Structure 1
Amino acid sequence: MKRINRTKRLLLILASFLVTTACGLNNQDDQQQKKFSIEEADNSLTHQNIIEVKELMLHQIFDQTLFLVADLMAVVEGKYDYNEIHRLLKMEIGDHVYKMVYGVPVVEMSGMYLPYDDIELVLFKEDVYLPTSFLDKVLGMDVVLSNESITFSKSYEGLMASQSNLNGRLNEEMTVEEMIEYLSFLDKPIEGAQASTIPNHLPGAKRPYRNGYHEGIDWYPYSSGQHISTTTPVYAMADGIVVRADNNYDEYSSPQIRNKDLAVTSKLGETPQYIFDRLRGRQVWVQYEKGVMIRFAHLDAIGDNIKVGNKVSKDTVIGYVGNSGTSGAVNGDGTQIHLHQDILIYGELFWKQYTPEQVKRIVLGIFGD
């Protein structure tokens, strides 16, 4: 039998960094975070009172050792829902909600994105599977593997106490000015560039070609007052932790394959999340303080030493502007070169409660000169 050591260092560093830095928030009661240190996390995880031992059957699929999500939910008394259209898995375990999208190597935990790139959703014969690393890395279980099963133990009370400080939510009643202040710690992603006010470059604009809406902010050369090309560096904007880095990105192999995805959106009348992710091209995701997470998309390349779990600062080059995922990249014509960035707060797009005019004011308030 092989014992997997319970290594939670990355998660503890993430908790310490993100929540202790959040102490610089506005004095809004529902936005403030409690300080959370690595030492406190260690203490709460080691002083456990109720130990439960569970067992799951293992499955060998695609040369991976996996377990059924349905089996896990049964033994931990959790709930789950799998949305076939979006290929989105949502799990409720204890005090936390976990979300994963097929093909996206990121785990969302109660609106926070975790720095692991080896945990992905697996679909096989209409069933949903996860790798065994989800148990020890994400849930913090003590895990023992055998040939046919996996045994894990955890004090659920200890787990919830240690991680509850990571919980947060987007305050949907924030005024425009409050949202600008909330996001004011972010620098521009492209040095010297001006934020565009063209409606099609702002969140909420319609995207008929994929039957959806624009979710982020576009930085094009003709609207930014700045020369932008595939040699233009993209900066991390603030202190954060890399939670996704597409170092081994594969572009759409042909226009026909991309058009096949777009045909699915036409049939459904919306963009499924797993297809949306492909259309964003090469990406880097960074988790910041106050529950803020940014997706940097359409990158041409990723910066040196940008790997999941690495800390970054406002001066860190996370990548270079490109057109990956766009028709310009697939057709090889060099068009559509720009940076796209989505800003989320505790897993929710920051702009959804605002009118287009208010969104423009927020973008200019954050990135305007």
Structure 2
Amino acid sequence: MKPNKRLVLFLSLFIVTVIAAAVNLATYVEEGTEKQKPAEGPDERHSAENEIYLSTDQVDGTQIFKVEELIEKQGGNFSYDEIHRKLEMTIGNRSFGFIYDVPVMERDGLFFPSAKTPLLLNKEGDPCLPVGFLLELPGMEIVVEEENQVVLKMETPSVEVLSEQTDRFILEDLTVDEMIEYLSFLDFPIRDAAVSTIDSHLPGAPRPYRNGYHEGIDWYGYSTGVDITTDTPVYGMAEGIVVRVDHDYTEFESELIRNDTLSATAELGLTPEYLLDKLRGKQVWVQYENGVMNRFAHLDRTNPDLKPGDRVDKDILIGYVGNSGTSFAVNGDGGGLHLHHDLLIYGELFWKPFTPDETKEILTGIWGN
């Protein structure tokens, strides 16, 4: 029986169509399955993007990381001044400041205590910070901490975490009367004393011996109307939080070493900030309201019960008048006793926008007779 040519042709076309449909169906199913693989989901990719790996090292028993590496991976900017040994860093809208060998951190113009000196240098001289500093960054979590690295996780992207805007204090906007009002909450640091109006005791006075200028206010016995000895108490002046207490301070070993150190300032034409901190001697720093911070300097000794984080007020003893950090202390002759203290507002010396006469008017307006 001869086959029907039309039937054969029909059956051939039918078979080809069925095979093509089967191939298309298999391809569709395979592609659909691939799109639904959970391993490449957006949640896991987002989590990985928020992890930061930092190499770490050890300096004096402290685990540290390079600031440059943090900025490269987290974003932001930093500058390190080798002369002043000062680090300034910005991440998002949050700013930080550190000075070598100073156990204090400045954050957004406010000062906070640090258990150890924050700014350290590695073997190459690169600025580094302790791993614990990373917890100062909002939303940052240390998920793994090993000998040579830490793994960080930002719970929320840094741009969102640090995007809150704050009103910035502009020092130059204040008049003399407004500055008097701003600082009027401060009581006298020494009982029954009157603020000195001698030019060399006032902020901005030249200090040729170190090629710099005077940053604060001096209270000597002969100019304040009270007897000054190493038993003269110094008080906290107002309600605030202690951010630094120097219970231990090491003087220059000799006048020769001190003079050699100071001779370097002649070449620079200024006093490096890390050296100026040494020259202030034994100190107590107190952070007050509205960004006001007080550096009490040249103390003979500090209140032994005082520690960073303590609250003080105008009646709390912080220490006693002395001459630490001065040539008199190095020589051991007991001279030059006075209280020196600097007033800063959100990290800036309060007197910078004013003339010497205006500064004198401000001081007498606060602590005049």
Q: TM-score, normalised by structure 2?
A: 0.83
* 1:116–1:309 contact (8 Å) kept in structure 2: no
Task: Report whether the alignment pairs 1:80 with 2:75.
Answer: no
CA distance in 2, matches of 1:195, 1:82: 37
Could you tell me which residue of structure 2 aligns to residue 229 of structure 1? 229
The aligned amino acid for 1:248 is: D
Taking the aligned partners of 1:202 and 1:120, their CA distance within structure 2 comes to 31
Shift of 1:169: 2.3
Gaps in structure 2 of 5+ consecutive residues: 1-45
Cα distance between partner residues in 1 of 2:226 and 2:72: 55
Map residues 187-336 of structure 1 onto 2, 5 A cutoff: 187-336=187-336
Instruction: Report the Cα distance in structure 2 between the residues aligned to 1:308 and 1:158, rounded to whole angstroms.
Output: 32
Q: CA separation in 2, counterparts of 1:132 and 1:126? A: 18
Report the 3-state secondary structure (helix = DSSP H, G, I; strand = E; otherwise coil) of the residue aligned with 2:162. Answer: helix
Name the CA distance, whole Å, in 1 between partners of 2:133 and 2:288.
23
Shift of 1:265: 0.7
Partner Cα separation in structure 1 for residue 269 and residue 279 of structure 2 = 16
Q: 2:119 — aligned with what? A: 121
| Offset at residue 256 of structure 1 (A) | 2.0
Judge conservation of contact 2:95–2:107 (CA < 8 Å) in 1. Answer: yes
> What TM-score, normalized to structure 1?
0.83
- Counterpart secondary structure, 1:89: strand
CA RMSD of the aligned region, Å?
1.8
Counterparts in 2 of 1:102 and 1:109: CA distance versus 1, 3 Å: same
Give the secondary-structure state (helix, strand or coil) at the position aligned to 2:173: coil
| Aligned position for 2:15 | none
C-alpha displacement at 1:350, in angstroms?
0.4
Where 2:318 maps in the other structure, the secondary structure is strand
1:69, 1:347 → 2: CA distance? 22
Tell me the alpha carbon deviations over residues 253-279 of structure 1, each in whole angstroms, 9 at most, x when there is no partner.
221221122111111111010111110
Alignment of 1:1-369 (within 5 A): 52-124=50-122, 125-137=124-136, 141-143=140-142, 144-154=144-154, 155=156, 156=158, 159-160=161-162, 168-369=168-369
- 1:172 counterpart SS class: helix
CA–CA distance in 2 between the matches of 1:331 and 1:119?
28
- Residues 349-368 of structure 1, C-alpha deviation per residue, up to 9 Å, x if partnerless? 00011111110000000111
What is the identity percentage for the equivalent residue pairs of Structure 1 and Structure 2? 50
Shift of 1:147: 2.3
The DSSP-based 3-state class of the residue aligned with 1:295 is strand
Mean CA deviation greater in 216-225 or 302-311: 302-311
Distance 2:281 2:291 in 1: 24
The unaligned stretches of length 5 or more in structure 1 are 1-48
CA contact (8 A) 2:299 2:339 kept: yes
CA displacement 1:118-150 (0-9 Å, x = unmatched): 242112322111111111246563213112211
Ranked by relative contact order (alpha carbons within 8 Å, sequence separation 6 or more), the top structure is 1
d(CA) in 1 for partners of 2:293, 2:137: 18
